[in-house]
Chain A
Amino acid sequence: MLAAAAALTLSACGGSGGDGGKDDDAPKAKGPNLKGQTVSVAAVWSGPEKDAFRKVLDAFEESTGAKVTLVPAQDPIIGFLESKVAGGGQPDVAMLPQVGAIEQAVANGWAKPLGKGAEEALTTNYSKGWADLGSVDGTPYGVYFKAANKSLVWYNTAVFENAGVEEPKTWDEFLKAAQTVFDSGVTPVSVAGADGWTLTDWFENVYLSQAGPEKYDQLAKHEIKWTDASVTKALETLADLFGNKDFLAGGQSGALQTEFPASVTQTFTGGDQPKAGMVFEGDFVSINIGQTDAEIGTDAKVFPFPAVGENSPAVVGGDAAVALKDSKGAQALLTFLAGPESAEIWAKEGGFLSPNKAVDTAAYPNDVQRDIAEALIAAGDDIRFDMSDQAPQAFGGTPGKGEWKALQDFLKNPKDVAGTQKALERAAAAAYKE
């Protein structure tokens, strides 16, 4: 306790000493001088995402003089942080990928509210919808740095051209397009069934569009049961696609062994004879397309998830930066992440969307990304956060368990709607009880 207090005082002194900004050593950019301080950030990103985030942190280092270490965390990040907190070695900032994770971090007493600077940046740069997502009981804790638009279908333009299909707007048009693509000789849809989270996203888009936002919110809080008639309808709609072996790359069993990266690459390799013509998932698909020869905007294009009900759904996800220590460095980093400059750095790298409305959309590398980003900003407060990410981890976020497992079993046997609902409700009842 005493040591912690001492450390706090020390860091505070270090910080305020630099704030004058009159030292010759002072960095040129406008951030506070944090020379000699270390800020640690935990994030689950790996590969290209990690490299891009590192560039953002490098910019922070340059503008403040602080040293930022990136702590690689494992999913589920709450479990990872728990062991870190128990050992007293929690990072200054954690990038939490779920609304539920923020609530848990607050409930456990780990999260520290946003400081004045960060809060100001948040209110000027973000719409209320996003600010609310980062708040618990009205107190802002998280800054959504990276957003995901999970209501997109990517398609291979050569396949659509050969089949003579237009971008479908409704679910019926979507199924019709799938049939035409199949008639032209290409399997229409690639489903990443080995990763349960893609299946939860399929369901959420259909459900949000079909049952509407109110029901969506109720189901997300488990105020209505998974055995509800609206869920039956959504699963039956989904079975129009999942139940047709010819529409899925590799059939149902092949889809169940396809992991997300492979589901994307198999759609965009093989010229105009790929293993599938379309793949559903968020904007981050573009990173995986980047690993193929396909060019986004010419070979690979995107259309909004078809409207099942009246409106196209807008399911979003996001990673929020939350401070776990009351250090000056942590708050400075949050302020930095809430500003437009940090987001523009990653936007240039691709595979990134910022919910920050102050971000200059010229920073996005291509029109496709720009359109997705602008659509996200335009959706304003009508967005709905990924339902499985709002659910308790045991239900919505554990491989081979809960919703992931139930929907994988559904993909295996799409006729069994009632059995799927029962399995979902059983798992949900156990997970929400706690």
Chain B
Amino acid sequence: MADGTKTGPAAAPPAPARRRRRWTPVLFLLPALVLLGALVVYPIGYSVVRSVLDKAGESFVGVDNYVTLFTDDSIRTALANNLIWVALAPTVATALGLVFAVLTERVRWGTAFKLVVFMPMAISMLASGIIFRLVYEQDPDRGVANAAWVAVHDTFNESSAFPKAHPGPKSPLEKSEGGSFTTREPARAGEPVLLPLVGVAPDKMPEDAAPAAEAKADPGKVTGTAWQDFTRGGGGTPSVVDPEELGYPGIRVEAVKDGKVVAETRAGPDGTFALPAEADGAQLRFPADNFREPYNGVDWLGPSLVTLSVISAYVWMWAGFAMVLIAAGLAGVPRELMEAARIDGANEWQVFRRITVPMLAPVLGVVLVTLMINVLKIFDLIVVIAPGSSRDDANVLAVQLYDSAFGDRDLGVASAIAVLLFLLVMPVMVTNVRRLRKEARR
């Protein structure tokens, strides 16, 4: 081999040298090819083969595993969710990134702002998943999303003082429409009534609550007592005002005749109330707004919202990535074009819409496609954020793949999912490669 190198004229290389020249690149490529083959081509090929074998990997089952993909309920949810993900997450992240990039160009502290928006990218998916798990916590005392939501809600819609109050055993009250409680018998003037309620602990009573008292009889008025008919430590005697029991201060009482409210009042600190003579013969009612439950916020991680909640967490992470790429693209857009448009009388929106966005189109395309590929394989955020009870509703293909492979230990179905994911990524990849080629030619 070695002696071939120095012989022969320079004009026409001899045959061995030519052959060697053909083999040199192959030799250099060989390590890469071997690695690619072992780490990429072989696994893909084996996944395809494995996807037509049964659970144990011993017998051929044809397309059975692929049929399972479209018949199994949780895999179908996964497919549907993946569609939502691909449709929503990349577009929202790119749109937000575009807005941030264009706006930060114009503010003084633009770099600082960019830094803040980009920062979530520095956190691992797992960590940001844990952060958002806490953000979305149902209890408004723990989850910041609900804390904010409840605060806004409560400014417009106050909760009541007696959310869990209800008639106790042997109470003359019964449930009526809309969560209110009404007496069975009509009340008479001059005969004080007892309206016992239970379900509010003494510590949770309004501060002005005083020990309950029986109302005095007044021939011209309908009087009565509304109180917590439960003695701490032993229940007390039902329907009797026991000494330690507290009144329901400020509870609203209505007198209802034939479905019409004829009089209403509020109870005093000791729970006593007095209605004018018109109330004679009317049924007494505690309207439902006495018992409105404290607003508990939104079920962020419940079955219906969980996917959107996780997508928001994803957007929080990746909007910064989109912004940085788009800002880089923006720096390359010639200023003269925008200046010229402005001189021609275009307003800022028109400049943005007709100049900036079209000029940025290639960058936007790259960002979108990158995010799409990224979103198709989303896994960690869902595993971390979705609680067990709505995990199935938040399912996506990558999570299902893991469950099938390591939970059900059905490598056949898992491989079929892998192949499906591969097929889904393919068109996106092909467009990406085409675009890159086109740009290289330019």
User: Is the beta-carbon distance between B199 and A185 smaller than 8 angstroms?
Assistant: yes
> Using Cβ atoms and an 8 Å threshold, which residues of chain A touch B231?
164
Known interface pairs A185-B200, A398-B403. Does A194 touch B388 (Cβ–Cβ under 8 Å)? yes
Tell me if A299 is interfacial: C-beta within 8 Å of chain B: no
Residue in chain B with minimal CB distance to A408: B389
Tell me if B138 is interfacial: C-beta within 8 Å of chain A: yes
> Using Cβ atoms and an 8 Å threshold, which residues of chain A touch B198?
183-185
User: Which residues in chain B, 103-157, are within 8 Å of chain A measured between CB atoms?
Assistant: 138-139
Q: Which of B16-24, B232-240, B319-327 contacts A (4 or more CB under 8 A)?
A: B232-240
User: Which residues in chain A, 120-159, are within 8 Å of chain B measured between CB atoms?
Assistant: none
Most chain B CB within 10 A, of A78, A193, A401, is at A401
User: Is the beta-carbon distance between A161 and B233 smaller than 8 angstroms?
Assistant: yes
> Using Cβ atoms and an 8 Å threshold, which residues of chain A touch B204?
185, 273
Residue in chain B with minimal CB distance to A194: B387
Q: Which of A43-51, A200-208, A249-257 contacts B (4 or more CB under 8 A)?
A: A249-257
User: Which residues in chain A, 220-260, are within 8 Å of chain B measured between CB atoms?
Assistant: 246, 250, 253-254, 256-257, 259
User: Which residues in chain B, 167-210, are within 8 Å of chain A measured between CB atoms?
Assistant: 168, 198-204
> Using Cβ atoms and an 8 Å threshold, which residues of chain A touch B390?
256
Tell me if A82 is interfacial: C-beta within 8 Å of chain B: yes
Known interface pairs A162-B232, A182-B164, A183-B168. Does A399 touch B203 (Cβ–Cβ under 8 Å)? no
User: Which residues in chain A, 377-434, are within 8 Å of chain B measured between CB atoms?
Assistant: 393-394, 398-401, 404-405, 408, 411-412, 434
Question: Per-residue 0/1 for B382-408: is the Cβ within 8 Å of any A Cβ (1 yes, 0 no)?
Answer: 000001111110010000000100111
Cα(A259)–Cα(B166), bound, Å: 29
Cα(A411)–Cα(B202), bound, Å: 31
User: Is the beta-carbon distance between B234 and A257 smaller than 8 angstroms?
Assistant: no
Known interface pairs A82-B409, A259-B387. Does A180 touch B138 (Cβ–Cβ under 8 Å)? no
Cα(A412)–Cα(B403), bound, Å: 23
> Using Cβ atoms and an 8 Å threshold, which residues of chain B touch A394?
407-408
User: Is the beta-carbon distance between A183 and B230 smaller than 8 angstroms?
Assistant: yes
User: Is the beta-carbon distance between B407 and A79 smaller than 8 angstroms?
Assistant: yes
Tell me if A287 is interfacial: C-beta within 8 Å of chain B: no
Tell me if B377 is interfacial: C-beta within 8 Å of chain A: no
B133 → A minimal CB distance (Å): 10
Partner of A185, one of B164, B302, B392: B164
Residue in chain A with minimal CB distance to B299: A253
Tell me if B374 is interfacial: C-beta within 8 Å of chain A: no
> Using Cβ atoms and an 8 Å threshold, which residues of chain B touch A195?
388
Cα(A398)–Cα(B405), bound, Å: 12
User: Which residues in chain B, 403-439, are within 8 Å of chain A measured between CB atoms?
Assistant: 403, 406-409
Partner of B403, one of A164, A180, A401: A401
Question: Per-residue 0/1 for B341-378: is the Cβ within 8 Å of any A Cβ (1 yes, 0 no)?
Answer: 00000000000000000000000000000000000000
> Using Cβ atoms and an 8 Å threshold, which residues of chain A touch B200?
185
Tell me if B312 is interfacial: C-beta within 8 Å of chain A: no
User: Is the beta-carbon distance between B389 and A398 smaller than 8 angstroms?
Assistant: no
Cα(A408)–Cα(B391), bound, Å: 11
Cα(A148)–Cα(B388), bound, Å: 22
Question: Per-residue 0/1 for B196-232: is the Cβ within 8 Å of any A Cβ (1 yes, 0 no)?
Answer: 0011111110000000000000000000000010111
Partner of A399, one of B235, B388, B408, B409: B388
Cα(A188)–Cα(B403), bound, Å: 36
Question: How many inter-chain contacts with C-beta < 8 Å in the A-B complex?
Answer: 103
User: Which residues in chain A, 84-126, are within 8 Å of chain B measured between CB atoms?
Assistant: none
B297 → A minimal CB distance (Å): 10
Cα(A161)–Cα(B74), bound, Å: 46
Most chain B CB within 10 A, of A185, A254, A256, A272, is at A185
> Using Cβ atoms and an 8 Å threshold, which residues of chain B touch A434?
55
Majority secondary structure, B binding face: loop
User: Is the beta-carbon distance between A184 and B387 smaller than 8 angstroms?
Assistant: no
B295 → A minimal CB distance (Å): 13
Cα(A396)–Cα(B279), bound, Å: 61
Partner of B199, one of A183, A193, A273: A183
Tell me if A76 is interfacial: C-beta within 8 Å of chain B: yes
Cα(A273)–Cα(B387), bound, Å: 26
Cα(A78)–Cα(B74), bound, Å: 23
Chain A, interface size category, equals 35 or more
Known interface pairs A183-B168, A250-B138. Does A259 touch B199 (Cβ–Cβ under 8 Å)? no
> Using Cβ atoms and an 8 Å threshold, which residues of chain A touch B228?
185
User: Is the beta-carbon distance between A254 and B138 smaller than 8 angstroms?
Assistant: yes
Tell me if B301 is interfacial: C-beta within 8 Å of chain A: yes
User: Is the beta-carbon distance between A273 and B201 smaller than 8 angstroms?
Assistant: yes
Tell me if A163 is interfacial: C-beta within 8 Å of chain B: yes
User: Is the beta-carbon distance between A186 and B201 smaller than 8 angstroms?
Assistant: yes
Cα(A246)–Cα(B293), bound, Å: 11
> Using Cβ atoms and an 8 Å threshold, which residues of chain A touch B407?
76, 79, 393-394, 398, 401
Most chain B CB within 10 A, of A184, A186, A254, is at A184
User: Is the beta-carbon distance between A405 and B233 smaller than 8 angstroms?
Assistant: no
B308 → A minimal CB distance (Å): 16
Tell me if B265 is interfacial: C-beta within 8 Å of chain A: no
Residue in chain A with minimal CB distance to B303: A412
B362 → A minimal CB distance (Å): 41
Most chain A CB within 10 A, of B138, B139, B389, is at B389
Tell me if A196 is interfacial: C-beta within 8 Å of chain B: yes
Residue in chain B with minimal CB distance to A394: B408
Tell me if B5 is interfacial: C-beta within 8 Å of chain A: no
Partner of A254, one of B201, B296, B388, B395: B296
User: Which residues in chain B, 36-90, are within 8 Å of chain A measured between CB atoms?
Assistant: 55, 74
Cα(A101)–Cα(B137), bound, Å: 34
> Using Cβ atoms and an 8 Å threshold, which residues of chain A touch B138?
250, 254, 257
Known interface pairs A79-B406, A401-B74. Does A196 touch B164 (Cβ–Cβ under 8 Å)? no
> Using Cβ atoms and an 8 Å threshold, which residues of chain B touch A405?
392
B78 → A minimal CB distance (Å): 11
Sample (9) of A-B pairs whose CB atoms are under 8 Å apart:
A76-B406, A162-B201, A183-B166, A184-B198, A185-B198, A185-B228, A194-B388, A272-B201, A400-B395
Binding site for A on B (CB under 8 A): 55, 74, 138-139, 164, 166, 168, 198-204, 228, 230-235, 296, 299, 301-302, 387-392, 395, 403, 406-409
Binding site for B on A (CB under 8 A): 76, 78-79, 82, 161-164, 180, 182-187, 193-196, 246, 250, 253-254, 256-257, 259, 272-273, 393-394, 398-401, 404-405, 408, 411-412, 434
Closest 9 CB pairs of A and B: A185-B201, A400-B391, A183-B198, A164-B234, A256-B389, A400-B392, A194-B387, A79-B406, A398-B407
Extra 10 A-B pairs, beta carbons < 8 Å, given A186-B201, A400-B388, A400-B395: A185-B164, A250-B138, A256-B387, A257-B301, A259-B388, A272-B201, A273-B203, A398-B403, A401-B407, A408-B389
